[in-house]
Amino acid sequence: MAKQFHVVVADFIRDDLEPERRILGDIAEITAFGARVEDELTGRIEDVDAIILFHELLLTRRTLERLRRCKLIVRGGVGFDNVDHAFARSVGIPVGNVPDYGSEEVADTAVAMALSLARGVHYMNSRLKVNQGPWAYLQVVPLARLRGSVFGVIGLGRIGTAAALRAKALGMDVIFYDPYKPDGYDKALGIRRVETLEELLARSLVVSVHCPLSDETRHMIDAKAIAQMPRGSYLVNTARGAVLDTKAVPEAIASGQLAGAGIDVYESEPPTEDKDPLLAAWRNPEHPAHHRLILTPHAAFYSEAGLMDMRLKAAEACRRAVLGLPLRNIVN
């Protein structure tokens, strides 16, 4: 019997659609396009009823204005900067996200990066592996004690809150900057609010970025911002790539302003090898930043359980949309 609806997974998932069929299989045909650029959608997506979009391509007005019956675009993830959600709203297409699929995993990764950097674990491992420096703690002198040191969170959403609680459990003094967070969360969580980004940067041994990407936050952490951090501090970004101007990071490490950085997300993914000074420093054993950088490939979200949550919740959102049920987590 012909299925009533057609739901597509635009990118990222290219083969096994069992999780999506588990939720939608009784009412919808499900197709994985596996697209890597928007042009690959032309002629294939115009009549679909719902779209699941991950992070490998952009959906712009060029595609959105051709959709004839789409009832929902759902981002399989938290960030939604890779879909023109304002234009989608203007043509009556709701855009949703999955805000709760991997909060634990991303927070775990952010704190793991911070610990590995601030305790010298990564630096010592990286240097000793290539027979550099003494087989002794002298490699990382001086290190600050983490208990009582300041862990600064930019953006106290779900993931930022989870990271704050993990850092607090380590005995760190947790502060946060989030001008859109209502009052009282500092009291409820037992952490401290600061009123300006400048204050957070100036006080933090570790700055962990957890805000969405917007016009307001694009390149919010740049060379000027990094210069406001204490000398020898650490920077972690597991949020969105363009919040951080990564070109500023190698020089900040080379100068000693930063003692290390952990980065999981990039303005262009994968980064353009021949144009990215961050990758050049990370790959070059002679660069002062080489042993002080931890780079991962937009993988902080991942665990088997987290990936399954993301896929099932995105499919559930599509089911609600095509059946005309009330929608959740609409961002536009």
Is residue 287 part of the annotated active site? The answer reads no
Radius of gyration over alpha carbons of the chain, in Å?
A: 21
Q: Are 56 and 31 in contact (CB under 8 A)?
A: no
**E strand spans, the chain:** 5-9, 28-32, 50-53, 73-75, 95-96, 150-154, 173-177, 192-193, 206-209, 233-237, 258-263, 293-295
Helix (H) or strand (E) holding 254: helix 248-254
- Residue from 240, 291, 319, 320 carrying the catalytic annotation: 240
Which distant-in-sequence residues (6+ apart) come within 8 Å of 286 by Cβ?
A: none
Is residue 65 part of the annotated active site? The answer reads no
Q: Are 24 and 7 in contact (CB under 8 A)?
A: yes
- Residue from 210, 290, 292, 298 carrying the catalytic annotation: 298
DSSP H stretches of helix in 10-102: 18-24, 61-64, 85-90
Is residue 240 part of the annotated active site? The answer reads yes
Residues with active-site annotation: 240, 269, 298
